[in-house]
């Protein structure tokens, strides 16, 4: 079969009009799905609900994605991509602990902007036996490795002890920021980002003894 696109040759491919419509629909579906799944979990969220929230017919979901799981997996990829880019950009140009600090702030900002995504991320990351599990782990490791790289740099610069367990510390920093951010939004949303970042920053800048 294969569409047999009749080669719309024409002037500068106007085809864009159609595909931008499609990507707008996909975006709406991502947004609907991320909040619903964060609230209820993957299995408890029905495709009908997602479609309704997105203001779209059920069939459209299946026109745009192969399956419910596929929608979810692409959503995951999309979100983690945004996070990794944000962290990398935040750390750029700075060095060592300055960079770590900037990344922590970027992490907080990201979670504040996409709280549902963060919820969904914690909920699914350490889960085993799921179809999208490998995807998620790979992307998570990519993210943590951005932190690890900065720590390694700080060690090289003598800002941190040379025998620091970089891997473990990266996990610790990641977990710290994640849980602090989620608790912040869940329990003390009135506090400002600067406030939270200040508190976190002090912990991050602590000197390792010995």
Would you tell me which residues interact with DNA (CB under 7 A)? 3-6, 8-10, 14, 17-19, 21-22, 24-25, 45-48, 55-60, 62-64, 67-69
CB 111 within 8 A of CB 185: yes
Take residue 72 and report the two structure tokens written for it. Answer: 């979810």
> For residues 31 and 109, which CB has a smaller minimum distance to DNA in the complex?
31
CB 127 within 8 A of CB 200: no
d(CA 184, CA 171): 20
> For residues 21 and 127, which CB has a smaller minimum distance to a second copy in the complex?
127
Interface with a second copy in residues 103-132 (CB under 8 A): 118-119, 122-124, 126-130
Using rule CB under 8 A, residue 138 touches a second copy: no
> For residues 60 and 112, which CB has a smaller minimum distance to a second copy in the complex?
112
The neighbour count for residue 38, using CB atoms within 10 Å, is 20
Tell me the DSSP string of 91-147.
Answer: HTT--HHHHHHHHHHHHHHHHHH-HHHHHHHHHHHT--S-TTHHHHHHHHHHHHHHH
Residue of the chain from 21, 24, 27, 39 that contacts a second copy (CB under 8 A): 39
CB 147 within 8 A of CB 173: yes
For the bound state, the minimum distance from the C-beta of residue 48 to DNA, rounded and expressed in Å, comes to: 5
Region near a second copy per CB under 8 A, out of 3-11, 51-59, 82-90, 193-201: 193-201
> For residues 25 and 185, which CB has a smaller minimum distance to a second copy in the complex?
185
> For residues 13 and 40, which CB has a smaller minimum distance to a second copy in the complex?
40
Choose the contact partner of 55 out of a second copy, DNA, none; CB within 5 to 8 A by kind: DNA
Integer CA distances (angstroms), 91 to 47, 146, 158, in order: 38, 9, 18
For tokens 């400002």, name the residue: 192
Nearest to 193 by CA among 123, 109, 83: 109
Residues that bind a second copy (CB under 8 A): 38-44, 118-119, 122-124, 126-130, 137, 164-165, 167-169, 171-172, 174-180, 182-184, 186, 188, 196, 199-200, 202-203, 205-210
């Amino acid at each position: 079969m294969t569409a047999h696109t009749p080669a719309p040759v024409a002037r500068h491919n106007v085809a864009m009009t159609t595909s931008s419509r499609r990507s707008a629909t996909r975006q709406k579906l991502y947004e609907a799905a991320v909040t619903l799944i964060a609230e209820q979990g993957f299995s408890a969220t029905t495709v009908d609900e997602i479609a309704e929230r997105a203001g779209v017919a059920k069939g459209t979901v299946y026109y745009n994605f192969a399956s419910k799981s596929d929608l979810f997996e692409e959503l995951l990829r999309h979100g983690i991509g945004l996070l990794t880019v944000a962290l990398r950009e935040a750390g750029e140009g700075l060095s060592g602990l300055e960079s770590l600090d900037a990344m922590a702030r970027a992490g907080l900002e990201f979670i504040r902007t996409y709280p549902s995504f963060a919820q969904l991320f914690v909920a699914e990351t350490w889960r085993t036996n799921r179809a999208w599990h490998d995807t998620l782990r790979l992307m998570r490791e990519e993210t943590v490795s951005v932190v690890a790289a900065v720590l390694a740099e700080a060690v090289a610069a003598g800002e941190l002890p040379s025998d620091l367990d970089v891997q473990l510390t990266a996990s610790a920093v990641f977990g710290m920021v994640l849980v602090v951010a989620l608790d912040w939004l869940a329990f003390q949303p009135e506090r400002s980002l600067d406030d939270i970042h200040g508190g976190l920053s002090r912990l991050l800048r602590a000197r390792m003894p010995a």
